[in-house]
C-alpha cells in the first residue's frame, strides 16, 4: 500500500488501521489490548478461535495462558488469578458456561472481578453449534445459585464487541463483579472490517487483593458466612451494588425512534436483521424504529417503558423461544401490544420473516385503534404450536395447558 | 525445635532459669477452633504454621481454603486466603501461581474435596507440574456434613451413607490418590504421614517442610497426605480413633515418601512416565 489514491497521510493511516477480522479473534485481541493479564479456557465451538488467538498472543507477550482441563478448571484458575488483583478473562460457549456457573456465584459472592465471554450456541443440552441467543435467561437471571446479578453486555457488531471488552474490564473492576459479554455464534464466526482502535482501562490498586500478608493481617476473599444476620447484611450490600449498577451503567441504542409507530426490540445479530427489516418497512410506509439493549442486565426497562407510552406496538425479535421478551413485557406493563418472533436451533430470522411479524403486529395495532376492539390481548407467537394432544392426560397437564393460553 | 517468632512471654535476656522451647507460632491465631474434640486438623494447622514460620513464608503466602471441615482455615492461620468452590482449590492455586510467580502458593484440602469432587483439578494441576504445595488431610469421611462415606473410606467402614459398611461390590474401593499422583512426572514430591503419635507428627512435619522447600527451590507439584482421625464421624472416642488410625487406616494407606524427584524443575519436553519400579532419585 503506497497510499497514492488517498488524499493524505492521515487517510492512509486510517485505512491501514482498518482490517478484516474474525469476531472471536477481534474480541481476543481487544481483551489483550485492554490489559488482560491472564486468560484461561477450554476448547468449544463456536469460540475456539478465541482460545487459539490467546494461546499464541498471550505467550508472545509474556502473559498467562492456560488451556484448562475443563471449564470448571478454567474459571477457577481465573478466580485464583483475579483474587490477586490481576485482570483476567475466560471464554466459552453455552454448555461450557453452564459448567462455569458455580464459580460465577462464588465470584459474585466474594466480589472477585472477572470478564467472561459467551459465544452463544443453540441448546438445550449439547444442542448444536449454530448461533443462538437462548442463554439470555442464563446470563441475566441465573447461572449459579444465590441472589446475585452480573452485568451482561451484548454487542451487535465485531467493532462494538471490541469496545465493550474494555468496558467489561472497567465494570468488573469498578464494581468488583464478574461481567459477561454475550454474543451469538455469528458474531464470533463472522468477519467484519474493524478499526484497530483499542482502549486500555486505567490500572487501579485494590485494597482487597491477595499479595501476601507482609506488614498487615491476612486478607480473606470468601463468600461464606454461616451467621444469617451477617450473611443477610452481605446480601444487602450486594443488592445496593446492583442498584448502583442499574442506575449508572444501563446502556441501549435507539434508531429511527423519533417518528416510530412500531418498535422492534432486539439485541446482537437479531438487531441487525431487524435494521434490514425496518429499512424495508419504511420503504413501504410503515414507520418502525429499533430499540437495542446493549446491557441485557441491567435491562433498560425505564427507557423502554417511556417509549411504550408513545408507540402503537412492540415486536421483540430473538434467536430464541422468547426470553428477553419477558423483560420487555415487564417493562411495557401492558401499555401496548408486545409481539414476538424468534427462531431456534441455530437458525436466524430473515428480514422477510420480521416484515411478516411487523405486518401482523400492525394489523393488531390497527384493530385496537378501531372501534371494535377484539382479542388484542392474545400474545402473538410465530413459532409453530404443537398440536393438541387427544389422549387423556394427567390433570396437571390440563391445568398447565389451559393456564398457558392467556 | 527452633522458633523464629517467640511470643511476648519469652524470657527477658539474662533470665537463666526458664528457656522457651514451645510456643504458638505467631501465624497461628490465638483462638479456639470449630473442630470437634480430638480432631487432627488442629495438629496439621499447627505443623503448617510452624513450617511456614521456620521458612519465613507467611508474608509471601497465598493459600487456598477448601470446602469441608477446613473451610475456615483462614480463621486460624493469619495469611492471605482465598476460598475455592468444593474441589477446585488446585485450579484456584494454579491461577494464583501463574500471575504471582514470587508468591508461595498453598492448598489445604480434605479427602472429599481432593479425592472425589476435585479429582480432575488435582490430577491436572499435578500433571502440569504446577509449582504449588498441597496439604491433603485424609480422615476417610465427610466430617463437615455429618460423617458420610468418602472415596477414602475403608472397606467395611460404617458411615451415615454406608450404614451397613462400605461394600466394594456396591461402593468400590478406597482410592490411594497420592500414589496415583506420584506417577506423574510433574509431581516433584509426594509423601504420606500421620498425626497418630508424637513420632509420626515429627515425621509429618518434616514432610510438610520438604513439600514447601520443593516449591521454594523451583520444583514442581508437591503433596503431603496427612492421615488424620474423625472421632465424631467414626463414632469413636478420640483415643479409640487414634488406635484405629494406627491400625487399619495406616495399613490401608502406607506411610512414607512415595516420590521425591528433587527440586529441579521438570523438563517440559520429558513426557515419559517414570516406572514405579524405578523411582527417580
- Beta pairing, strands B141-142 & B148-149: antiparallel
**Yes or no, beta carbons of B80 and A70 under 8 Å apart:** no
Give the pLDDT confidence score for residue A253 in this predicted structure. Answer: 97
Give mean pLDDT, residues B200-220.
97
Q: Per the domain annotation, does B28 fall within a domain? A: no
Which of A38, A40, A76, A102 is most worth mutating to test chain B (most B CB atoms within 10 A of its CB)?
A76
Give the pLDDT confidence score for residue A313 in this predicted structure. Answer: 97
Question: What's the domain count of chain B?
Answer: 1
**Yes or no, beta carbons of A84 and B98 under 8 Å apart:** no
How far is residue A191's CA from residue A26's CA, in Å, rounded to a whole number? 9
How far is residue A149's CA from residue B251's CA, in Å, rounded to a whole number? 50
Q: Per the domain annotation, does B272 fall within a domain? A: no
From B71, B80, B83, residue closest to A212, measured CB to CB: B80
The nearest CA of chain B is from the CA of A85 a distance in Å of 9
**Yes or no, beta carbons of A222 and B93 under 8 Å apart:** no
| Residues on chain A touching B65 (C-beta within 8 angstroms) | 222
From B60, B103, B124, residue closest to A69, measured CB to CB: B124
* Dihedral (Cα; B26, B30, B34, B38), 10-degree rounding: 80
Q: Per the domain annotation, does B269 fall within a domain? A: no
**Yes or no, beta carbons of A223 and B83 under 8 Å apart:** yes
The nearest CA of chain A is from the CA of B3 a distance in Å of 19
B 104-143 near A (Cβ less than 8 A): 104, 120-121, 123-124, 128
Q: Per the domain annotation, does B281 fall within a domain? A: no
From B81, B85, B95, residue closest to A81, measured CB to CB: B95
Give the pLDDT confidence score for residue A308 in this predicted structure. Answer: 96
**Yes or no, beta carbons of B78 and A72 under 8 Å apart:** no
Mean pLDDT of chain B, nearest integer: 91
**Yes or no, beta carbons of B82 and A210 under 8 Å apart:** yes
**Yes or no, beta carbons of B91 and A77 under 8 Å apart:** yes
Give the pLDDT confidence score for residue A342 in this predicted structure. Answer: 98
Q: What is the 3-state secondary structure (H, E, C) of chain A?
A: CCCCCCCCHHHHHHHHCEEEEEHHHHHHHHHHHCCCCEEEECCCCCCHHHHHHHHHHHHHCCCEEEECCCHHHHHHHHHHHHHCCCCEEEEECHHHHHHHHHHHHHHHHHCCCEEEEEEEECCCCCCCCCECCCCHHHHHHCCCCCCCCCCEECCCCHHHHHHHHHHHHHHHHHHCCEEEEEEEHHHHHCEEEEECCCCCCCCCCCCCCCCCCCCCCCCEECCCCCCHHHHHHHHHHHHHHHHHHHHHHCCEEEECCCCCCEEEECCHHHHHHHHHHHHHHHHCCCCEEEEEECEEECCCHHHHHHHHCCCCEEEEEECCCCCHHHHHHHHHCCCCCEEEEECCCCCCCCHHHHHHHHHHHHHHHHHHHCCCCCCCCCCCECCCCCCCCCCCCCHHHHHHHHHHCC
Q: Does position B117 have pLDDT exceeding 70, yes or no?
A: yes
Question: Residue B21: pLDDT band by 50, 70, 90 thresholds?
Answer: confident
**Yes or no, beta carbons of A212 and B61 under 8 Å apart:** yes
From A69, A76, A81, residue closest to B99, measured CB to CB: A81
Q: Does position B267 have pLDDT exceeding 70, yes or no?
A: no
Give the pLDDT confidence score for residue A369 in this predicted structure. Answer: 80
Q: Per the domain annotation, does B100 fall within a domain? A: yes
The nearest CA of chain A is from the CA of B211 a distance in Å of 19
Residues 6+ apart with CB under 8 A from B240: B231, B234
Per-10-residue mean pLDDT for chain A, 406 residues long? Answer: 48 71 97 98 97 98 98 98 98 98 98 98 96 98 94 98 98 98 97 93 96 96 96 98 98 97 98 98 97 98 96 98 98 97 97 97 90 51 51 41 38
Question: Residue B49: pLDDT band by 50, 70, 90 thresholds?
Answer: very high
Of the listed ranges A235-249, B1-15, B109-123, the least confidently predicted one is: B1-15
Q: Does position B25 have pLDDT exceeding 80, yes or no?
A: yes
Q: Does position B278 have pLDDT exceeding 90, yes or no?
A: no
Give the pLDDT confidence score for residue A13 in this predicted structure. Answer: 58
Q: Per the domain annotation, does B92 fall within a domain? A: yes
Q: Does position B268 have pLDDT exceeding 80, yes or no?
A: no
Q: Per the domain annotation, does B98 fall within a domain? A: yes
| Residues on chain B touching A212 (C-beta within 8 angstroms) | 59-62, 79-80, 103-104
Name all domains of chain A by residue range, CATH numbers in brackets: 17-200+225-249 (3.40.50.970), 252-369 (3.40.50.920)
Report the CATH number at residue B171: 3.40.50.970
Is residue A319 within 8 Å of residue A349, measured between CB atoms? yes
Range of the domain at B230: 41-260
Q: Per the domain annotation, does B14 fall within a domain? A: no
The nearest CA of chain B is from the CA of A55 a distance in Å of 15
| Residues on chain B touching A216 (C-beta within 8 angstroms) | none
Q: Is B74 on the interface with A (CB under 8 A)?
A: yes
**Yes or no, beta carbons of A84 and B59 under 8 Å apart:** no
Please state, as a whole number, how many other Cβ atoms lie within 10 Å of the Cβ of residue A38: 25
| Residues on chain B touching A206 (C-beta within 8 angstroms) | none
Amino acid at each position: 500500500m503506497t497510499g497514492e489514491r488517498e488524499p493524505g497521510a492521515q487517510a492512509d493511516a486510517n485505512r491501514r488501521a482498518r482490517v478484516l477480522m474474525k469476531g472471536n479473534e477481534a474480541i481476543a485481541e481487544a481483551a489483550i489490548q485492554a490489559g488482560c493479564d491472564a486468560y484461561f479456557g477450554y476448547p468449544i465451538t463456536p469460540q475456539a478461535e478465541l482460545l487459539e488467538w490467546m494461546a499464541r498472543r498471550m505467550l508472545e507477550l509474556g502473559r498467562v495462558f492456560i488451556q484448562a482441563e475443563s471449564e470448571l478448571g478454567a474459571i477457577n484458575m481465573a478466580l485464583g488469578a483475579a483474587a490477586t488483583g490481576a485482570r483476567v478473562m475466560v471464554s466459552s460457549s453455552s454448555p461450557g458456561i453452564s459448567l462455569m456457573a458455580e464459580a460465577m456465584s462464588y465470584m459474585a459472592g466474594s466480589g472477585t472481578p472477572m470478564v467472561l465471554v459467551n459465544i452463544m450456541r443453540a441448546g438445550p443440552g449439547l444442542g448444536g453449534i449454530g448461533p443462538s441467543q437462548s442463554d439470555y435467561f442464563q446470563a441475566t437471571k441465573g447461572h449459579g445459585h444465590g441472589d446475585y446479578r452480573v452485568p451482561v453486555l451484548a454487542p451487535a457488531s465485531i467493532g462494538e464487541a471490541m469496545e465493550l471488552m474494555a468496558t467489561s474490564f472497567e465494570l468488573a473492576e469498578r464494581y468488583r463483579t464478574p461481567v459477561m459479554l454475550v454474543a451469538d455464534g455469528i458474531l464470533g464466526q463472522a468477519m467484519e472490517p474493524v478499526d484497530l482502535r483499542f482502549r486500555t482501562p486505567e490500572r487501579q490498586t485494590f485494597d482487597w487483593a491477595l499479595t501476601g500478608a507482609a506488614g498487615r493481617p491476612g486478607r480473606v476473599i470468601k463468600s461464606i458466612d454461616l451467621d444469617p444476620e451477617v450473611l443477610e447484611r452481605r446480601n444487602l450490600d450486594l443488592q445496593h451494588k446492583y442498584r448502583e449498577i442499574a442506575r449508572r451503567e444501563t446502556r441501549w441504542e435507539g434508531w429511527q425512534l423519533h417518528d416510530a409507530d412500531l418498535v422492534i426490540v432486539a439485541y446482537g445479530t437479531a438487531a441487525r436483521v431487524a435494521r434490514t427489516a425496518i429499512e424495508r418497512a419504511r420503504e413501504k410506509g410503515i414507520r418502525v424504529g429499533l430499540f437495542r439493549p446493549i446491557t441485557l442486565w441491567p435491562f433498560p426497562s425505564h427507557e423502554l417503558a417511556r417509549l411504550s407510552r408513545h408507540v402503537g406496538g412492540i415486536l421483540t425479535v430473538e434467536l430464541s423461544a422468547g426470553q428477553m421478551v419477558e423483560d420487555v413485557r415487564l417493562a411495557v406493563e401492558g401499555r401496548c401490544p408486545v409481539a414476538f418472533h424468534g427462531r431456534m436451533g441455530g437458525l436466524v430470522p430473515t428480514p422477510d420473516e420480521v416484515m411478516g411479524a411487523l405486518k401482523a403486529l400492525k394489523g393488531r395495532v390497527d384493530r385496537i385503534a378501531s372501534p371494535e376492539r377484539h382479542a388484542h390481548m392474545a400474545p402473538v407467537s410465530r413459532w409453530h404450536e404443537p398440536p393438541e394432544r387427544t389422549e387423556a392426560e394427567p390433570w396437571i397437564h390440563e391445568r398447565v395447558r389451559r393456564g398457558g393460553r392467556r | 525445635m527452633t522458633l523464629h517468632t517467640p511470643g511476648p512471654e519469652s524470657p527477658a535476656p539474662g533470665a537463666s532459669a526458664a528457656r522457651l522451647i514451645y510456643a504458638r507460632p505467631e501465624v497461628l491465631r490465638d483462638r479456639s477452633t470449630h473442630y470437634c474434640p480430638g480432631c487432627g486438623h488442629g495438629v496439621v494447622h499447627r505443623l503448617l504454621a510452624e513450617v511456614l514460620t521456620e521458612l519465613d513464608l507467611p508474608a509471601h503466602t497465598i493459600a487456598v481454603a477448601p470446602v469441608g471441615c477446613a473451610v475456615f482455615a483462614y480463621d486460624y492461620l493469619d495469611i492471605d486466603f482465598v476460598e475455592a468452590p468444593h474441589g477446585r482449590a488446585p485450579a484456584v492455586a494454579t491461577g494464583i501461581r501463574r500471575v504471582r510467580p514470587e508468591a508461595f502458593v498453598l492448598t489445604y484440602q480434605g479427602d472429599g474435596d481432593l479425592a472425589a469432587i476435585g479429582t480432575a483439578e488435582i490430577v491436572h494441576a499435578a500433571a502440569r507440574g504446577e509449582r504449588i504445595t498441597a496439604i491433603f488431610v485424609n480422615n476417610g469421611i465427610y466430617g463437615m456434613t455429618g460423617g458420610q462415606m468418602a472415596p477414602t473410606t475403608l472397606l467395611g467402614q460404617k458411615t451415615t451413607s454406608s450404614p451397613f459398611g462400605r461394600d466394594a461390590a456396591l461402593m468400590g474401593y478406597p482410592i490411594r490418590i497420592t500414589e496415583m499422583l506420584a506417577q506423574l512426572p510433574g509431581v516433584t514430591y509426594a509423601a504420606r504421614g500421620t498425626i497418630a503419635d508424637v513420632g509420626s507428627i515429627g515425621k509429618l512435619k518434616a514432610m510438610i517442610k520438604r513439600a514447601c522447600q520443593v516449591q521454594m527451590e523451583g520444583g514442581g507439584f508437591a503433596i503431603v497426605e496427612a492421615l488424620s482421625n474423625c472421632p465424631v464421624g467414626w463414632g469413636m472416642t478420640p483415643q479409640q480413633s487414634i488406635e484405629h488410625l494406627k491400625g487399619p487406616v495406616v495399613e490401608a494407606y502406607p506411610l512414607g515418601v512415595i516420590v521425591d524427584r528433587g527440586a529441579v524443575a521438570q523438563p517440559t519436553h520429558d513426557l515419559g512416565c517414570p516406572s514405579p519400579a524405578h523411582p527417580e532419585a
